[in-house]
Structure 1
């Protein structure tokens, strides 16, 4: 991977623009006789009876995460690619035949996937001597001719490390167990650029990674000063420039996601929120704002989407699909919309992903879904 020119942006300008930058978004006019709806597609992993967790999505609609084949089984990573199958996701380890996986390890989590098809995940094992759990991050290029994982090469003192995020430049965000401090510390690391990881502020409770496409250095953000996942101080940093910015919040805040401008979404004062400038904008419906894109669209648990052009909208009113699927959507006891892409050029709307929970006879089942914007006649 070619190293981008990351230091053309002055630290002072970058720090000053963290919360106020308004991204430009292409807005294509649609014919008056048409309207944009979301095509509902349920999908799953064949034979799964345990829980499933969708972690991230790229702009092509590829979704990664992890699941348990049965309620008591160990976690396994998966890949959902609507170009391979619209209804079926694939066990990640089985898909690549375990290529590159060290003996005794399993691919337990596929954590993130960037727009180049590069997956950041983690593999797991057990120390044969101590019996302690072992976790290590890996990369896999889904566009390569030979699919095989490549464990990240980290300093020797790191023996337990979890994956968080990867952007289109190959920057990764991970957390490792510091044996001396007996606590986790976060690291920023690009294996194509850096010789060693950059250690991040140990007091920050959660991290999110930006995806710059203009050659500027990536930004991380989160909260600090409370009890995870809540905090009292919003935090932004540019690890490669040594820039850190803090903003004191008037109420406990939880951050679920961050876009490239450093705008947050999450919970503020017990309401779903979007933070572009202070104070954050809160919403009257839903529970948690789970994801935000560069147009500042937000998806909210409870089945809502917020767009500047249309305000807060219940997704149920915008769905297109089979009669059976639409009926199923309305029966969910919980709708967790936690994945959001950038807006598509043909519709000026973003894909949305997540899971729904259904309770019957005291048993909860989970169904993952993908909503794809389409143009239909009124």
Structure 2
């Protein structure tokens, strides 16, 4: 946030030069004061762009103040109050609209983000009003009001924007920390905690439980690095195959789970088959014999607690293992509503 700090400092120097006329010489206020304010706004703009991963543009920082200084070298520009005001409002409005555009393009995750949009929109509107008052002679009666208010509105912007930006940075850091706590480091999908939180309140929930077959053998034969590659490979295939409607996560080791809302047992079985076939085919292409067994738990009339439904899917997965692996199975039709939790010897 060095750009933000520098912008606040530069704006803190430039704005008093503009506001403190006539004690400050007019030429100094017009030339240096406005240039510093434009540089401050360019620094604010670039700080927003850097926050969202864009590269710093030296030209974007240098162009506004240099353009103003170049215009101030011409006598006609220095003599024309209206031309200076309209030019300043265009440049200021543009430098506020550009970071505002970036903020509008990304998800509004925090209150500070929304507040920045409000502050930026208000300032762009003020620039438009000030330019219109100068452009239309019939509105000259409001010129003195605008001349008095606009500098203080600009000061409020220079003070509010950095504070809100710092709050946004802190809030984004908290959100990123929370997201990382719910994300599996190896695959990038949700971890067990993240999956549980997302799936627990899903209405008419159906589950698929995946377990890569003979994973210990894969590790022993090809090495643990290859085992990690298989896990990541399965995660990518399952994510792409299941689509955006699935809540998908790695719940431990070589085991993954997917939750859907409102799908029938047949639809769940179809999703499981699609993942199973896609993974087996892709593994053969990589010259690794890796397959996956899948257990499903269909929605019930009254939604079961997630733990009970996971136990059903786990039982179904155990059946798939016992029946030869590399298949999709549900629980036995004549089994109890919630099966015993024990499962041993699967792999």
Structure with higher RCO (Cα < 8 A, 6+ apart): 1
Which structure is higher in strand share?
Answer: 1
TM-score by length of 1: 0.20
Q: Which has the higher helix share?
A: 2
TM-score by length of 2: 0.21
Q: Which has the larger radius of gyration?
A: 2
